[in-house]
Amino acid sequence: MTFHTDLLTLFEEAAIVAGQEILRIYEEGCAVELKDDKSPVTAADHAAEAIILQALRGATPGIPIVAEEEIAGGHIPGDLGTRFYLVDPLDGTREFVSRNGDFTVNIALIENGVPLLGLVYAPVRGLLFTGSPERAQQVTIDRNGSVIERQAIACRSAPDVLVAVASRSHRTPETDAYLDQFAIADCVSVGSSLKFGLLARGEADIYPRLSRTMEWDTAAGDAVLRAAGGITLTLDGRPLTYGRRNQAHDADFANPHFVARGRL
């Protein structure tokens, strides 16, 4: 067992427990509040983040954590060093509120700006994606949080006519204009970081995001995609990096626009 293997196991255990709590709140219902940026937040976001942070800090207390709800609450880590976590405990809160099931738990390890390990868990769908330098996997989880099946996944080579994925809640005219450059057979609208999962398992080829995202929205899915043979690029063709701070024109940890691709 290596450090990264053990860490990915920790991610999985924490995400499944967090997912069980999210499902409990999802089924019982809860109030929705608005943060300062007008994005929604619920008790499920806070409960899931508390579970994940306790697990990560208990096992690896020396690794800094950038977590969405802590950042929103003003708890901003100092020097991140070369290795840190990015956590979005409930990516797709709008999908959670809409009750369409397209929300995920995201946990990633960043090393030297690269998303090296990532986990994306969609508790309603019972699907969990993991990515590491060794492999990308899709894991089927039952309603009790037990693993049913694991299978390796990989991006497909891009066909002449592409399948695109786009944000369900944040699609923009700029996204449509970008896709007009390509021969597109279909464009699937999906919420949260599940879009990266569709690319990673070879069901889609391109995901342009020409609207605002934060690093915790993308890091876990990006890690899965890279492990499966894909890549996420900024619009100038460079791999998307993580740990952006002191940006002149945007907040800490805000992503530039990007395009995620399967195998080219």
Summarize the annotated binding site for substrate as residue ranges: 68, 90-93, 217
Q: Does domain 162-261 have CATH number 3.40.190.80?
A: yes
Residue 1 has pLDDT above 50, yes or no: no
Which of these, 189, 216, 206, lies nearest to 258 by C-alpha position?
Answer: 206
Average pLDDT over residues 156-175: 87
Interatomic CA distance for residues 234 and 255, integer angstroms: 9
Distance CA 64, CA 145 (A): 27
Q: What is the mean pLDDT of residues 150-161?
A: 96
Q: What is the average pLDDT value for the chain, to the nearest integer?
A: 94
Q: Check: CB of residue 103 under 8 Å from CB of residue 90.
A: yes
Any idea where the domains of the chain sit in the sequence?
3-152, 162-261
State mean pLDDT over 111-132. 98
Chain centroid to CA 64: 18
User: What does the block give as tokens for 161?
Assistant: 């006519």
Amino acid type, 3: F
pLDDT at 88 over 90: yes
Extract the tokens encoding 226: 């890279």
Binding residues: 68, 88, 90-93, 217
Q: When comparing pLDDT for 111 and 33, which is higher?
A: 111
Query: Cα 103 to the chain's mean position, in Å?
Result: 10
Sheet holding 83-91, edge to edge: 65-67, 83-91, 104-111, 114-122, 127-131, 136-141, 147-152
Laid out side by side, the sheet with 258-261 consists of: 184-190, 162-167, 206-209, 258-261, 231-234
Instruction: State what percent of residues in the chain have pLDDT above 70.
Output: 99
- The tokens describing 189, both together, are 């609208």
226-257 pLDDT, tens digit each: 999 999 999 999 999 999 999 999 999 999 99
Q: Looking at 57-61, 99-103, 116-120, which range is the least confident one?
A: 99-103
Identify the CATH number of the domain defined by range 3-152. 3.30.540.10
CB 72 within 8 A of CB 35: yes
pLDDT of residue 57: 98
Which residue has tokens 């699609």?
171
Q: What is the average per-residue pLDDT within 145-174?
A: 91
Nearest to 209, CA basis, from 186, 185, 232:
232
Mean pLDDT lowest for which of 63-67, 87-91, 185-189, 206-210? 185-189
Binding site feature residues for Mg(2+): 68, 88, 90-91, 217
Residue 21 corresponds to which amino acid?
A: E
Residues above pLDDT 90, as percent of the chain: 83
Crossing angle of helices 43-59 and 3-28, rounded to 10°: 160
Name the one residue in this structure whose structure tokens are 């929705």. 32
